[in-house]
Structure 1
């Protein structure tokens, strides 16, 4: 095959351009810190990197869900802790009032404190987390407990709030107010449950001698307060166990995220020292191609005729 000057010129220019493109690609890698910046760089690596990014983004959302779930659980447990304090104080007042030797004025003072405890417990039962009421079931936008002259009423429901904390794994994070405060004490051992607010109101009436109650009825509330306290403690234990599970799950997810990011980094991030060395090699090749091209592309007769 006859080699012409045009063929030599085209080959030289093509090789120079290719060397320049290699330098530009390596320079882009150094500036971005990534081995692949577009799918055409390495389709297989890009597909794997996108899969890793999808998994990492999903895990980030699960982490947020678990943090929110743990916050809800901790807020509920804290509120039930305050409810336990209220019940323990009410039981102490019941013990004081059941000794039979206190004057009427002292009994009424105890009753007045119980009335304040009812108000405190209503406020505790209306605890909110992030603007949502934790004991309202799925009705979280309005206070579930209200108190009027007829007593304390519950306007929430008994539905669970479920958080998705892993693919296909959901966890109930709430205790509804009906189960926590309204269906607690079996007063007559007949399976009919009474609420904590009703129990406190009975103690108040017994201490003050109102609504058909008398001082002799005070001692009968002691065992019921024990039931109520045990009930709240059992709920707190359940919430605490779920909170601990969330902590372990978040720790495990953090370890998973680190592994995913390390593997993705190996796929897409450059070895800077190696890339710089490659760039210097390509630069030398490019300069050598320019030098060679200068010798190959000799002036033609047309250059002298200008």
Structure 2
């Protein structure tokens, strides 16, 4: 079979171009560190690599979810630890206050500390994480509780209709009246015991002498005839300097429309494919004992009221109530701690899976640099040999000089 010089030249150039392409491909693999540069390099391995890449991205997101959840629950744990400390101190005060040798004044002094403990507890229940209230359930932009501070001694608040009021005008000494909020005519309840004061026409009246207050219900019992007045909106007594009621009360958080919100609802984080876990403890779950029904707000208000009213049996009952609330807080702490352990265990597994998946992906997609360098050296030798051979085979002709 006769092979023309032109055909021989084409074959030699084809071999040289093939070797040059192989060397160029190896150069790219060495430079990028990747064996698979395009789908046609190995369709099966490319498909598997893409699946592994998706798995790695999922692991990264799960890790972010886990770390965020752990941070959230660590803030919860810190708040619960502080609340447990405050409840322990409240119990110590209750034990001290139940001592039958204490005087009414001494119990009143204990109430001052008790009220401050109570305010701090409310502040802890309103703890935030990244701008969200952690104990508000799914209503994370609204605090579970708020301390309403009456400011009814100013003319501006009178004009705005924010003064507290009551109507005892047609009653007798010993009658009980309900306190109302002039802003929205709602019943005033859950008053902090050391915050209440009452004056009429500039005269200050004394609790337990001129009146008594049920701080939970907001009902006032009249003991002095001077307080048998009608102080409802529109009357002369509903004005600055007349009947002035000052107090702080605990209310449920309200949304932007003024509606009370529930602090129930769970917030979840997906920590593995198809597995979600709650990360929050709601305020009721944390502060209310399911067996007895005692809750932190009612317990602390009743405790303070019994101190103010020098009620020793009531103070003794407060010890049991505080123990019940303390038990609820410990239960919430144990639930939160168990969740943190679950998240941290999952995080360890996530990191292990990420490493093993990365290794498998690397085996499929990454260049074996040592092997690639050896191949490149071999190809370079072959390429140079092909060039030398071509130089001998492809001889110059007259055409080269035309």
Q: Where on the TM-score scale, by shorter chain, does this alignment land: which range?
A: over 0.9
TM value normalised by structure 2 = 0.71
Deviation at 1:215, TM superposition (A): 3.3
Q: Aligned pair in 2 of structure 1 residues 195, 148: CA closer, same or farther (>3 Å)?
A: farther
1:153 matched to 2:251? yes
TM value normalised by structure 1 = 0.92
Among 161, 165, 169, the alignment partner of 2:271 is 165
Among 191, 208, 228, the alignment partner of 2:308 is 208
Distance of 1:179 and 1:238 partners within structure 2: 11
Question: Which residue of 1 is the match for residue 52 of structure 2?
Answer: 52
Question: Which residue of 2 is the match for residue 251 of structure 1?
Answer: 348
Question: Which residue of 2 is the match for residue 222 of structure 1?
Answer: 319
SS at match of 1:218: helix
SS at match of 1:194: coil
Deviation at 1:9, TM superposition (A): 1.1
Deviation at 1:185, TM superposition (A): 6.9
Deviation at 1:166, TM superposition (A): 1.1
Which ranges of structure 2 fall in alignment gaps of 5 or more residues? 150-188, 191-249, 254-261
Query: Which structure: greater helix fraction?
Result: 1
Distance of 2:6 and 2:58 partners within structure 1: 58
Deviations 1:72-131 (A, max 9, x none): 222212211111111111111111111021233321111011110111001000111122
Among 195, 216, 235, the alignment partner of 2:295 is 195
1:303 matched to 2:400? yes
SS at match of 1:171: strand
Among 333, 343, 348, the alignment partner of 1:236 is 333
1:185–1:224: 8 Å Cα contact kept in structure 2? no
Q: What count of residue pairs does the alignment treat as equivalent?
A: 296
1:161–1:174: 8 Å Cα contact kept in structure 2? yes
2:137–2:263: 8 Å Cα contact kept in structure 1? yes
Distance of 2:285 and 2:327 partners within structure 1: 13
Distance of 1:231 and 1:144 partners within structure 2: 17
1:177 matched to 2:293? no
1:80–1:232: 8 Å Cα contact kept in structure 2? yes
Deviation at 1:184, TM superposition (A): 2.7
Distance of 1:240 and 1:180 partners within structure 2: 13
Deviation at 1:228, TM superposition (A): 1.0
